């Protein structure tokens, strides 16, 4: 009689692997892939340990148990959270392993970004408070027709503060915050990308109230249609994401999807429908630009006053990130002068005897403005048109 094949089990990384037969009452530990061990006991029970992810998972589980539950939430809403496990009860060891890998994308601790630290963007801040913060603080009022929006899109030029706004939401609401990029949910293994999407939303529901922040969402779900070459795996991922977001709108669970993009016109129409609030994050206004300059240069200038009016006038079309580069370039000028003096010396100067860097002068500001160009003004008209066609506005 031919021998029966040894039992096999599925590894989500490398497919089906053959396991050796354990002796009675003995467990067999068999490597099923790099960094993964499968334990099969005589009674047929399986346990899978991914050693590359388990250290991160165990560390976060301890931090989560000791700190997250004690943080509570904002007043008038969820004053405390019920004790719960880090992972929900998944249907298979494969799904649990995927859940463990996504745990690294949970923001551990408070991002500590206050609304006041974001200069300008009053319209965007007001819309975000209305869409996310208030439903968590006052859940009594947001029921029925007033049920909160579950999908919010932040769009605008790069470097204008979209990620900062998302961190401010996490700070204000104290929700479980999932910071997700394309690399978090795209896998080279067949079928894993859509499974990661499902596991992500299962985790978010388990830890509700929670916020899923999808950064650069255009890399995940761009337009579909004829004339666009698209892999089958990409279509399946997009379909699963759309299905999961539909599930949010049909439930009362406080799970929000907060997406950000620099290319809103590249998004699929079905995704735009599910992102019910579409908020423009524009280039900073003159008042905001002045506030950013004053904050960044507050401790850098000397007795000579800096020409803030000229800075504001000549930085039209600059994003907040561009303004930071201007200030950095200006701060480099006195450092370059000091470096030239130090490099001309023959002897080595001890570190405790190094002179201080001089203050920034108006001439340094002029040089910085000449050497720095705005990076976000080219498509300004497209953002305005998209906002007029699809954006959410505040009625005064």
What is the per-residue pLDDT for 326?
Answer: 94
Nearest-angstrom CA–CA distance, 252 and 140: 12
Q: What is the mean pLDDT of residues 161-190?
A: 83
For residue 348, CA distances in Å to 340, 342, 389 come to 14, 9, 63
Nearest-angstrom CA–CA distance, 212 and 200: 9
Minimal CA–CA distance to 270: which of 230, 228, 221? 221
Nearest-angstrom CA–CA distance, 27 and 45: 10
- Average pLDDT of the chain, as a whole number: 76
Angle among Cα 227, 268, 251 to the nearest 5 degrees reads 145
Joined together, the tokens standing for residue 293 give 């300059």
Residue 160 has pLDDT above 60, yes or no: yes
Q: Examine the domain organization and report whether 106 and 221 are in the same domain.
A: yes
Q: Examine the domain organization and report whether 327 and 258 are in the same domain.
A: no
**DSSP letter for each residue of 288-357:** HHHHHHHHHSTTTB-SSPP-HHHHHHHTTT--HHHHHHHHHHHHHHHHHHHHHHHHH-SSPPPGGGPPPP
Residue 332 has pLDDT above 60, yes or no: yes
**pLDDT tens profile 275-323:** 999 999 999 999 999 999 999 998 777 777 888 999 999 999 999 999 9
> For position 338, which CATH number holds?
1.10.8.60
Q: Examine the domain organization and report whether 208 and 306 are in the same domain.
A: no
Expressed as residue numbers, the domain containing 353 is: 286-375
Q: Examine the domain organization and report whether 14 and 86 are in the same domain.
A: no
Q: Examine the domain organization and report whether 111 and 234 are in the same domain.
A: yes
What is the per-residue pLDDT for 5?
Answer: 45
Residue 239 has pLDDT above 60, yes or no: yes
Q: Examine the domain organization and report whether 294 and 368 are in the same domain.
A: yes
Q: Examine the domain organization and report whether 38 and 70 are in the same domain.
A: no
Q: Examine the domain organization and report whether 234 and 140 are in the same domain.
A: yes
Instruction: State the total domains in the chain.
Output: 3
Q: Examine the domain organization and report whether 103 and 24 are in the same domain.
A: no
Q: What single DSSP character describes residue 267?
A: B
Strand partners, 213: 179, 258
Q: Please identify, among 261, 283, 305, the residue that sits at the C-terminal boundary of a domain.
A: 283
**pLDDT tens profile 116-135:** 889 999 999 999 998 889 98
Q: Examine the domain organization and report whether 71 and 139 are in the same domain.
A: yes
For residue 105, CA distances in Å to 14, 108, 152, 185, 211 come to 24, 9, 19, 10, 12
- Is 23 a domain residue? yes
Q: Examine the domain organization and report whether 30 and 89 are in the same domain.
A: no
What is the per-residue pLDDT for 375?
Answer: 84
* pTM, two decimal places: 0.72
What is the per-residue pLDDT for 6?
Answer: 41
């Amino acid at each position: 009689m031919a021998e029966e094949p040894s039992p096999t089990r599925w590894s989500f990384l490398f497919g089906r692997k053959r396991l050796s037969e354990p002796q009675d009452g003995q467990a067999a530990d068999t490597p099923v892939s790099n960094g993964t061990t499968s334990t099969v006991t005589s009674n047929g029970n399986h346990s899978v340990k991914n050693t590359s992810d388990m250290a991160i998972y165990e560390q976060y589980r301890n931090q989560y148990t000791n700190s997250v539950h004690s943080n509570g939430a904002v007043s008038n809403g969820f004053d405390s959270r019920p004790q719960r496990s880090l992972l929900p009860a998944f249907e298979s060891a494969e799904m649990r392993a995927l859940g463990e890998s996504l745990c690294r994308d949970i923001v551990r601790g408070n991002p500590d970004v206050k609304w006041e630290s974001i200069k300008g963007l009053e319209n965007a801040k007001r819309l975000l408070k209305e869409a996310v913060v208030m439903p968590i603080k006052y859940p009594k009022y947001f029921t029925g027709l007033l049920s909160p929006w579950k999908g919010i899109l932040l769009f605008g030029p790069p470097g204008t503060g979209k990620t900062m706004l998302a961190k401010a939401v996490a700070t204000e609401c104290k929700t479980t915050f999932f910071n997700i990029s394309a690399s978090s949910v795209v896998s080279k293994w067949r079928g894993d990308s859509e499974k990661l999407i499902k596991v992500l939303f299962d985790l978010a529901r388990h830890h509700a109230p929670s916020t899923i922040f999808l950064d650069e969402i255009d890399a995940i779900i761009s337009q579909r249609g004829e004339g666009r070459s698209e892999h089958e795996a990409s279509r399946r991922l997009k379909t699963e994401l759309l299905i999961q977001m539909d599930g949010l709108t049909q439930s009362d669970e406080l799970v929000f999807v907060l997406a950000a993009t620099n290319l809103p016109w590249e998004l699929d129409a079905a995704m735009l429908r599910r992102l019910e609030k579409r908020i423009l994050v524009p280039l900073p206004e003159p008042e905001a630009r002045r506030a950013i300059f004053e904050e960044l240069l507050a401790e850098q200038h000397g007795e000579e006053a800096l020409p803030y009016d000229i800075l504001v006038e000549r930085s039209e079309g600059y994003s907040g990130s561009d303004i930071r580069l201007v200030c950095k370039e200006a701060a480099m000028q006195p450092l370059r002068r000091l470096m030239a003096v130090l490099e001309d010396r023959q002897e080595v100067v001890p570190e405790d005897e190094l002179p201080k860097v001089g203050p920034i002068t108006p001439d340094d500001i002029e040089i910085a403005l000449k050497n720095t160009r705005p990076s976000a003004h080219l498509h300004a008209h497209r953002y305005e048109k998209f906002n007029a066609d699809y954006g959410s506005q505040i009625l005064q």
